[in-house]
Structure formats: C-alpha cells, structure tokens
C-alpha cells in the first residue's frame, strides 16, 4: 500500500473528524446524522493515520507531493 495522501489532506481530515466528534459529544448532532458522520469521522481518522485513501485508487488521484 503506497501512501497517496499529502500532509494538508491528512490535516483537513483530522480537523473535520475532531469537529464532528465535538458536535456529537456536545449533543449538537444526534440520531442518524450523528451515526453517519461519526462513522465518516472514524474513516477519516484511519485514512489519515495510514496516509492512504482507497477511494483515490480508481481515479488515480494523489494529494502527496512528488519526490
């Protein structure tokens, strides 16, 4: 698995995941929206941690800078 996510992409995903987590914990998000966005936040955190997004593969996308 070759990394295909750049630093800025990873930071944006982490920030969005944290914001969603805060909204859920403070009760501003609830119900189905909280579940769906919570799952998406977890996926964002996981993909940021491993620097690989599987959805980029079919489109041959990469936000990582070329060496």
The full length of the chain comes to 67
The candidate with the shortest Cα–Cα distance to 49, out of 4, 12, 14, 2, is 14
Give the pLDDT confidence of 27-54 residue by residue, as tens digits. Answer: 999 999 999 999 999 999 999 999 999 9
User: Would the CA dihedral through 55, 60, 66, 67 be positive or negative?
Assistant: positive
**pTM to 2 decimals?**
0.88
Question: Residue 2 above 90 pLDDT?
Answer: no
Domain assignments of the chain as residue spans, ordered by start: 7-56
């Amino acid at each position: 698995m070759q990394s295909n996510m750049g630093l800025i992409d990873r930071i944006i995903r982490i920030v969005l995941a944290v914001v969603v987590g805060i909204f859920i914990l403070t009760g501003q998000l609830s119900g189905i929206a909280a579940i769906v966005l919570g799952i998406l936040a977890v996926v964002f955190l996981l993909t940021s941690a491993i620097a690989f997004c599987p959805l980029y593969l079919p489109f041959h996308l990469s936000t990582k800078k070329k060496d």
